Structure 1
Amino acid sequence: MELVQRNTCFAGEQRIYQLDSSSLKTATKFGIFLPEVALQGQACPALFYLAGLTCTEETFAIKAHAQRLAAQLGLILISPDTSPRGEQVAQGDHWDIGQGAGFYINATEQPWAEHYQMERFLTEELYSLVQAEFPVQKGAIGIFGHSMGGHGALTLALKHPDLFKSVSAFAPICAPSQCPWGEKAFSQYLGSDRQQWLSHDATALVQTKGALFKAILIDQGIDDQFYSQLNPMLFQQACEQVGQPLELREHAGYDHGYYFIQSFMDDHLQFHAVQLQTAVH
């Protein structure tokens, strides 16, 4: 692991690291914000943030405006890249497939399966690495994300509740097996068997897994230009069916971008801080 960038931020440090990933079979980067108390060696709760289509490991650090409150709350923020990258890594023919569009799953079809193992990278490799290298409080790790990353946060939390003790999302793709983005990605990454897609679909997963969390928070802009792809009501209905507490907040005037995310970032950080404090007590 190599430190490639470090910037002081609200008395903490925003860093970018590069590592050679055994899961992705290529070099990859991730961002991490360490509040001042973490730099002093105090164990802190941590949040993984999964970004959306076309984003990188640096998008969250620059655009989300999360560091100020994270510094006050003593939260470590981890932001991986959205896919494997490199000359040897398969690339799609459009912005919503291939590099920048990993969908946080383990691909099974060629040419994607060789490198596109994002779920394994996150839940096994990076998860273990950050605990070994940084003062992360054991049992106090949450996950959140935006759009494709909101899909990733919901599905990984539902599949790995032993790893992630809190979950929230901004404008997540809630039912990817029922929208063009998901159908395109899943048909290429996972093949034509739609039954296999359901293990990567938050709406289907919550129906199968039942109520796993004390609360899930989702914020959604009503003026989101991609609203038809997101299907938050399907996820809400599934949560109601199994008794999974969900706070789905819809906001007039807000679109799909980072001005929307900035507007409600503090609420999400405070939500996770409470959930993770409860998890370790």
Structure 2
Amino acid sequence: MTIETLSTNKSHGGVQGVYRHASSATGTDMVFSVFVPDHAEGAKLPVLWYLSGLTCTHANVTEKGEYRQACAEHGVILIAPDTSPRGEGVPNDDGYDFGQGAGFYVDATQAPWSQHFQMRSYIESELPALIAAEFAVADMSRQSITGHSMGGHGALTIGLRNPDRFRSISAFSPIVSPLNCPWGEKALTGYIGADKAGWREYDACALIEDGARVPALLVDQGDADNFLTEQLKPELLAKAVEGTGIDLTLRMQPGYDHSYYFISSFMADHVAWHAERLKA
């Protein structure tokens, strides 16, 4: 595998890079960003994955997430992939909540989406292998994952399906149960098909109901989020973890909305929370 460097910038003593590679999972070129803090020669640093939400690319958190100071302080690499395959020949939809920019981190099984929309395989397998091969500083034995909205859904489900890989899982304003919201109904019907039994591996609440266990989850949710009641429903996650032993910290943040003004306000908290669990 090879990567093309699109840009590098020094920030907080480290390097913020943006890269492109040809993905075998999606059959397209994919762009992602990596922030590597300053470090001693030969050091190995833990990795925090950040999965973005609907309509976003790697650039949203890279430009507006305000994570670099905290990552530099704690010695944590942050990787931000794209949200979906893109480009000529990749199918799309007129709605912002389906198609390009809205891959929901699933492996689609339905035509025409199945040819390119293999974001689960991309995030769980292909991109980590690429990072391991191309970034010697990355300690792939110490990984954590977070994300926002659709990316919060991705972080929760990928983390719950891979508890031996990720030491910690957090989310900002996550879609906690695609089985129970309009965004999920549309996306999973289109990508996976109408049989809801196949949806459960892409629903954090269902995964927990079906036996997935992790030590702890951290979720921040703004109480002024206009998607809170219809789409996000954090109370379903709180109910799902009851009696499971999963330590859920669900923080309802007064006055905050769904935007990066909210995410950036609490990003340093999440980086520090993960850094504590990523210690060697």
Q: Which bracket does the TM-score occupy, shorter chain normalised? A: over 0.9
1:33 pairs with 2:57: no
Residue in 1 aligned with 2:58?
57
Distance 1:90 1:173 in 2: 24
Give 1:241 shift.
3.1
User: What are the superposed Cα offsets for residues 169-192 of structure 1, whole Å, 9 maximum, x if unpaired?
Assistant: 000000011100000000100000
Residue in 2 aligned with 1:91?
92
1:186 pairs with 2:188: yes
User: Contact 1:24–1:117 at 8 Å: present in 2 too?
Assistant: yes
Give 1:59 shift.
1.1
Query: Normalised by the size of structure 2, how large is the TM-score?
Result: 0.96
Residue in 1 aligned with 2:218?
217
Structure 1 residue identity aligned to 2:91: A
Distance 2:139 2:108 in 1: 31
Distance 1:269 1:189 in 2: 32
Structure 1 residue identity aligned to 2:177: A
Determine which of 4, 15, 21 is the counterpart of 1:2. 4
Residue in 2 aligned with 1:110?
111
Structure 2 residue identity aligned to 1:100: G
Structure 1 residue identity aligned to 2:117: Y
Superposed, which structure 2 residues align to 1:1-281 within 5 Å?
1-37=3-39, 40-134=41-135, 135-213=137-215, 215-228=216-229, 229-277=231-279, 280=280
Residue ranges of structure 2 left out of the alignment (5+ in a row): none
Give 1:138 shift.
3.6
Structure 1 residue identity aligned to 2:201: S
What is the aligned-residue RMSD (CA, Å)?
Answer: 1.0
Distance 1:162 1:26 in 2: 29
User: What are the superposed Cα offsets for residues 238-265 of structure 1, whole Å, 9 maximum, x if unpaired?
Assistant: 1113221100000110000001111111
Give 1:136 shift.
1.3
Query: Normalised by the size of structure 1, how large is the TM-score?
Result: 0.96
Distance 2:241 2:269 in 1: 21
User: What are the superposed Cα offsets for residues 169-220 of structure 1, whole Å, 9 maximum, x if unpaired?
Assistant: 000000011100000000100000011111100000011124322x210000
User: Contact 1:207–1:241 at 8 Å: present in 2 too?
Assistant: no
Distance 2:143 2:158 in 1: 12
Structure 2 residue identity aligned to 1:186: L
SS of the equivalent of 2:97 reads: coil
Give 1:111 shift.
0.6
Spell out structure 1 runs of 4+ moving beyond 3 A.
Answer: none
User: Contact 2:161–2:212 at 8 Å: present in 1 too?
Assistant: no
SS of the equivalent of 1:218 reads: strand
Distance 1:142 1:175 in 2: 21
User: Contact 1:52–1:82 at 8 Å: present in 2 too?
Assistant: yes
Structure 2 residue identity aligned to 1:35: P
Distance 1:81 1:275 in 2: 25
Give 1:128 shift.
1.1
Structure 2 residue identity aligned to 1:205: L
User: Contact 1:166–1:275 at 8 Å: present in 2 too?
Assistant: yes
